């Protein structure tokens, strides 16, 4: 198989390259990114690299010859910053997806695999698990969620117009690995929030909203899911998450807290909104809304159709990224993952 990875130098793309290099069935890897990595270093070696901005007006013309002859394309390109400028994000996230789909059509790519998210789902109670048929209307107070929902509509239309092309979409929870610690710190916290204390200082009592429950998965386990979808030519949507659900019962212990007290979500949201507007930290309040309102997913379809199982627990994945946040870990060979 020959696989193209769009957005191949970030958190998930790097993990996918590691996994593809291990597969005896993969005899060619095409990497596309806005910024070229060090192609002599693992896992960016033995990859045919192309420097393309998927949101640009020329992207379709540039991408289509690059994709010609590939057996599958994995589309990961997505911007999280600068999230004070939603039009800039939309250009990459939504327009970039539209450009990729148009280029895949022109190139005759038989299988398109797209990175969706739990953030694409409409709100739901945390009392039950939802499967892949839950509506993907997004959470309207989050630009990330709105863009993921818009991406889902693009995939729906593409799938309807091109029944001969296999279309797959993965909807993972939060994706963590230690090597992405610095990247996640830059994207979500910014330079003014200290990170070296994470997981190292005893916090005693930690205010934490009981409604803030979410799912996570390690980057390597997500990469395995993408590669299984490509190898099996598996169509449709797949929820991807590890156990257990993260929330006030387990996550604060990773931060060194002895116990928690329930904090109203509205208080946390107001604090996030104020500090974001003042540019003290980089997480807009929509992320609080997603953690409070996004559903908890059932991963039964991934288990039964793909045979996928997470090798690392959600707690292990979270501990790995907290360690990376504290130490400033990263990969100097990749611009997005550069160490602190």
DSSP string over 7-41: TTTSHHHHHHHHHHHH-TT--EEEEEESS---TTS
CB atoms within 10 A of CB 212: 19
Are 5 and 71 in contact, with CB atoms under 8 Å apart?
no
Q: Is the pLDDT of residue 185 over 90?
A: no
Under DSSP, is residue 129 helix (H, G, I), strand (E, B) or coil?
strand
Angle at 111 between CA 223 and CA 17, to 5 degrees: 25
Which domains does the chain carry?
2-176+215-241+295-311 (3.40.50.720)
Rg (CA), the chain: 19
Residue 251 has a pLDDT of 83
* Higher local confidence (pLDDT), 128 or 204: 128
Cα–Cα distance list, 197 to 180, 253, 323 (Å): 17, 14, 10
**Which are the contacts of 304, defined by CB distance < 8 A and separation ≥ 6?**
none
- State the pLDDT confidence band at 198, using cuts at 50, 70 and 90: low
Cα–Cα distance list, 144 to 40, 83, 124 (Å): 34, 9, 17
pLDDT tens, residue by residue, 8-31 = 999 999 999 999 999 999 999 999
CB atoms within 10 A of CB 201: 11
Q: What DSSP line would sit under 215-280, residue for residue?
A: -EEEHHHHHHHHHHHHHHT--EEEEE--SSPBSTTTHHHHTTEEEEE---HHHHHHHHHHHHHTTS
Query: Which residues are 257's β-sheet partners?
Result: 204
- State the pLDDT confidence band at 338, using cuts at 50, 70 and 90: confident
- State the pLDDT confidence band at 252, using cuts at 50, 70 and 90: confident
d(CA 18, CA 55): 26
pLDDT tens, residue by residue, 202-213 = 666 778 888 899
Q: Is the pLDDT of residue 196 over 70?
A: no
**Which are the contacts of 85, defined by CB distance < 8 A and separation ≥ 6?**
none
Are 17 and 86 in contact, with CB atoms under 8 Å apart?
no
Instruction: Read off the pLDDT of each residue in 188-198 and give the average, rounded to a whole number.
Output: 73
Q: Which of 158, 133, 164, 137 is nearest to 301 (CA)?
A: 133
Residue 204 has a pLDDT of 66
d(CA 61, CA 83): 28
Q: What is the DSSP letter of 91?
A: I
The phi-psi region of residue 172 (left if phi > 0; otherwise alpha if psi is between -120 and 50; otherwise beta) is beta
- State the pLDDT confidence band at 326, using cuts at 50, 70 and 90: confident
* Higher local confidence (pLDDT), 142 or 260: 142
Instruction: Read off the pLDDT of each residue in 250-274 and give the average, rounded to a whole number.
Output: 87
Q: Is the pLDDT of residue 56 over 80?
A: yes
């Amino acid at each position: 198989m020959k696989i193209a990875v769009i957005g191949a130098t970030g958190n998930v793309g790097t993990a996918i390259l590691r996994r593809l290099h291990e597969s005896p069935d993969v005899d060619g890897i095409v990497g596309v990114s806005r910024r070229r990595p060090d192609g002599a270093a693992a896992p960016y070696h033995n990859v045919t690299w192309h420097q393309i901005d998927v949101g640009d007006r020329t992207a379709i013309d540039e991408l289509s010859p690059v994709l010609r002859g590939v057996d599958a394309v994995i589309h990961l390109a997505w911007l999280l910053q600068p999230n004070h400028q939603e039009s800039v994000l939309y250009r990459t996230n939504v327009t970039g997806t539209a450009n990729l789909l148009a280029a895949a059509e022109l190139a005759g790519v038989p299988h398109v695999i797209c990175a969706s998210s739990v953030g694409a789902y409409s709100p739901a109670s945390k009392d039950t698990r939802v499967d892949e048929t839950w509506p993907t209307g997004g959470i309207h107070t989050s630009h990330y969620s709105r863009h993921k929902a818009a991406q889902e509509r693009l995939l729906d239309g593409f799938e309807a117009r091109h029944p001969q092309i296999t279309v797959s979409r993965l909807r993972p929870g939060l994706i963590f690995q230690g090597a992405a610690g610095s990247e996640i710190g830059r994207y979500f916290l910014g330079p003014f929030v200290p990170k070296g204390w994470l997981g190292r200082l005893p916090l005693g009592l930690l205010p934490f909203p009981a409604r803030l429950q979410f799912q996570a998965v390690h980057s390597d386990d997500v990469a395995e899911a993408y590669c299984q979808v490509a190898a099996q030519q598996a169509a449709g949507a797949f929820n991807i998450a590890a156990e257990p659900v993260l929330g006030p019962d387990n996550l604060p212990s990773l931060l060194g807290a002895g116990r928690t007290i329930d904090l109203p979500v509205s208080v946390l949201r107001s604090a996030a909104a104020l500090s974001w507007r003042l540019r003290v930290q980089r997480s807009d309040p929509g992320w609080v809304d997603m953690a409070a309102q996004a559903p908890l997913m059932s991963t039964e379809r991934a288990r039964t159709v793909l045979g996928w199982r997470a090798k690392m627990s959600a707690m292990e994945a979270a501990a790995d990224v907290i360690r990376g946040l504290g130490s400033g870990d990263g990969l100097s060979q990749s611009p997005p993952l550069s160490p602190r």
